[in-house]
Amino acid sequence: SSQPEQSQNHSGNAKAILPTSVKSPHNGSNITANFTNQFVQPPWRVALWSVAYSFVLAVAVFGNLIVIWIILAHKRMRTVTNYFLLNLAFSDASMAAFNTLINFIYATHGEWYFGDAYCKFHNFFPVTSVFASIYSMTAIAVDRYMAIIHPLKPRLSAKATTGVIACIWSLAVVMAFPLCYFSTTRTLPRRTLCYVAWPRMANDSFMYHIIVIVLIYILPLLVMAVTYAIVGVTLWGGEIPGDSSDNYHGQLRAKRKVVKMMIIVVVTFALCWLPYHVYFLVTGLNKQLSRWKYIQQVYLSVMWLAMSSTMYNPIIYCCLNSRFRAGFKRAFCWCPFIKVSSYDELELRSIRSHRTRQSSMYTLTRMDTSMLVVYDSAETDGSAGGSRKRSYITSRHTEISGSNSGSQRMQNGAAQNAQPEEFC
């Protein structure tokens, strides 16, 4: 969802547009002019790129702001997983708003118009943002793993979730601080450049990008691949023996939908950022490519794909989750062709007794299974029809008593760890 080494964008941009000027700005305006002419684009091409980048900016900012509104404005949406999605939406929206268009202007014009302070921020914030994005997704993967593989262990509280998010942003700031520290602008006879002036320009830039790739791309993707693989085997590999209640199957389907949606989010992120990282690895190893005639178009393409990762998540949520879909319908209810049904209203409505009922139903599944086992072992001579009838009566009695005595079971600890599996 964002740009892992956007600081390298600027030394990268400068390499792509003005390869000699950055390394030897003292060579004079003639050399600068020669390299500038090499990368001048016709107006129609600039117009097409402008439309493409503006589309990403609009969809990413407004889509993620709607996601933030859906989560904050509806109490039913305030779950642990959704708080991490809120953090992901904030980082994506910020990335799109503060960097996408500025990056495009600098990449196409080859001149920095925005001052020294914003140069530092522009190099610093994208790495911070993408760190927060991918580790929010990693936190969701670990949370899903704990909820499904170890359902009886305590879940994260709201306070603990806030602490995890704060730690993510703190580490992101530490990770991106060198970019802020070494960023600078340099005024040439005909233009101003914004780039990262590493102490050893030949090696530090490439080594930093390697560290970035490992820490905010390869490592978190490996963690998510392992956790989602284990969760997938558990959810799709088989069913719990003896537990065949409708409530159990409903919860299983809901968990599968959650995991499937998050896997799509992670895969989308990985695919969007892969060409960008490959680009900087290849140009770092073969610096002559920076002088290639079409390198600017390649860079604009891979940068657009990376920036577009900020706009896909709201679309995925809307398509694959009924509660987010209901929230988007409410956000666009002013459109004549968007109708909010009574079912959509119920999806987002917060009922005070809902959480207790969810916990009771979770306990009901456990009780229903145990009672059926006891009944089957005792009625060895019963007929199939009678057994089915009496089992149905037992199940109904358990459900009624379960909903009426939820608080008692909470005191006994039976439902204490069985938090509702509400994703959105």
pLDDT given for residue 404 in this prediction:
39
Query: Domain locations in the chain?
Result: 6-331, 354-412
Beta strand pairing status for 183-187 and 192-196? antiparallel
Q: What is the C-alpha to C-alpha distance for residues 133 and 93, in angstroms, rounded to an integer? A: 11
pLDDT in tens, the chain (424 residues): 333 333 334 333 433 333 323 333 333 333 344 444 456 778 888 899 999 999 999 999 999 999 999 999 988 888 888 999 999 999 999 999 999 889 888 888 888 999 999 999 999 999 999 999 999 999 999 999 998 888 888 888 889 999 999 999 999 999 999 999 999 999 888 888 998 999 887 788 889 999 999 999 999 999 999 999 999 888 887 654 445 566 777 777 888 888 899 999 999 999 999 999 999 899 888 888 877 888 888 999 999 999 999 999 999 999 998 899 999 998 998 888 888 787 877 777 765 444 444 333 333 333 333 333 344 444 444 444 444 444 343 433 333 334 334 444 433 443 334 344 454 5
Q: Which of 90, 158, 149, 150 is nearest to 125 (CA)?
A: 90
313: nearest Cα among 76, 103, 70: 70
Write down the architecture of domain 6-331 according to CATH.
Up-down Bundle (1.20)
- Dihedral pair phi/psi, residue 128, rounded to 5°: -60, -45
φ/ψ (deg, to 5) at 165: -65, -40
CB 149, CB 234: distance < 8 Å: yes
4 in Cβ contact with 127 (< 8 Å): yes
Length of the chain as a residue count: 424
Write the Ramachandran bin of 328: left for phi over 0, alpha for psi from -120 to 50, otherwise beta: alpha
In this prediction, residue 148 carries a pLDDT of 87
Beta bridge partners of 195: 184
Q: Distance between CA 352 and CA 80 in Å, rounded?
A: 18
pTM: 0.73
What does the pLDDT read at residue 203? 80
